[in-house]
Amino acid sequence: MHRGLLIPEIVDLIVAELRPTGRNLGQDERKDFAALARTCKAFQDPALNLLWSEQYTLINLLKTLPPHLWTETVERHHHPALSERHPGFAVRHFRLTGPFEPADWEVPLIISLLPTLGLRYPALTRLHIDLNLPPSPFVRSMVLETVLQLERIEHLDMPQLNRAAFDHLSQLPSLRSLALQSDSVLDISSSPDDTPRNHPFPALRTIRASFPSIRFEFIIEFLGLLSDCHMPELTLFGESIVTKSTMGSVYKALAGHLSHTTLKELCIAPEISQEDGPPVTTISDYAITGYELAALFCFGNLVHLHLLATVGFDIDDPTAWDMARAWPNLRTLRLDAASVLCPPSRMTLHGLRGFAKYCKSLEDLAITFNASAIPPTDDSPDTRILQTSLVRLDVGGGALTDPAAVAGFLSDLFPNVATICTHRNESLRREHEWDIPDEMAEAYARYTSWKRVETILSKVANSYYTS
């Protein structure tokens, strides 16, 4: 064999040249590539990669299961019409027979095979491990050992990592996405012999970490491992009820460890249901203010920002304008409340003018404001603020008294807004007025008022689009 065929890149180019352009592989060509895969080991992986990249049936994939789990039968039909037009017409049946639940004695055996994945499949690029098993030292050690054997992984979804596994992943040149889901504290503490790692995660594009039972103080420590990381997307889920002081520390940790220029998408949220929440008497300790948000103003290239707070946000008009100036590239901004215990908003309709002026690409805005007072409109063509990208506005629990006047103000700023959402929008939409309990009467009245605003804005948006 020619020594040039020992270079994988050259073999990849040869196989790419054999592939037809502008169309999918035909049946004869698939047979050719199958024969090529059996010719020699140099062509095996590239040819198989090409054959498996286009699949129009699950049968081929299911046939990789052990043979005792499936059966395939051929049923010939003798209908006169079919026999005349299609001699030898037959239907092939593929059935999964199972069982697919491993026996108790098989689980340790299956888990013990995990660390061999990297050795058996050195070209493995995507791995998702989701073990619905009680935590144990054995399972944990096998999972972590699996990570240490991965060399070419690109997309990894794991239940847990320790410091050694995390450091190993941080030096992989191909890792693009990392997802972590854990109900227990990860062991990320450093050891005395640890040496600093330069330029961690060189190819990482996104991290999604869900720690529903872990305090946000741990997440702050976790963010310290991402220093000098230039990933564009980060999603973090943590404990349910978080004070504004703790969340402010998380925001400061983000600003201190992540790249200010490359971060484009950020989502920080507690795992909480709308029925949960802190005591009513301490709401002010949980509502995030402009002081905490200011730590994130350094991320000037944000495109999508979603922040979920335990009881929402307590911001005013100057803070709204500061946010708009800090994040001019936003297409999505969502400042949501996780529970129904929300403080009255100090932001007015004037605060929306900041987003109309500075965020020209903003399409989806979720922010609570008080629309009871209508600011004077600016009819001057030289100073009027107009933003035509916004199409969806989520007002949370925002108050209003005159739907027609509010719709007129909003249509002057955002003529293309056609959808208005409120807190508990979906649940209230399904209710009938006579079925609303007394404790939800105020919320339902606010919902119907905002829906009248939506009706007016939809007509304005349609007329703007057709004009």
Write down the domain spans for the chain: 1-54, 356-467
pLDDT of residue 82: 46
All residue ranges of the chain with pLDDT < 50 are 81-83, 185, 191-193, 274, 430, 434
Distance between first and last Cα of the chain: 69
Q: At 167, list the tokens.
A: 């450091």
User: Residues near 120 by Cβ (< 8 Å), separated by ≥ 6?
Assistant: none
Helix (H, G, I), strand (E, B) or coil at 57: coil
Burial class, 307, CB count within 10 angstroms (exposed 0-12 / middle 13-18 / buried 19+):
buried
Position 16 scores a pLDDT of 79
What does the pLDDT read at residue 192? 42
Q: What is the per-residue pLDDT across 323-342, written as a single tens digit (0 to 9) for each? A: 999 999 999 999 988 777 77
C-alpha 320/C-alpha 358 separation (Å) is: 11
Which pLDDT value is given to residue 439?
55
How high is the pLDDT of residue 78? 54
Q: Give the helix ranges, DSSP H, for 272-348.
A: 290-293, 317-326
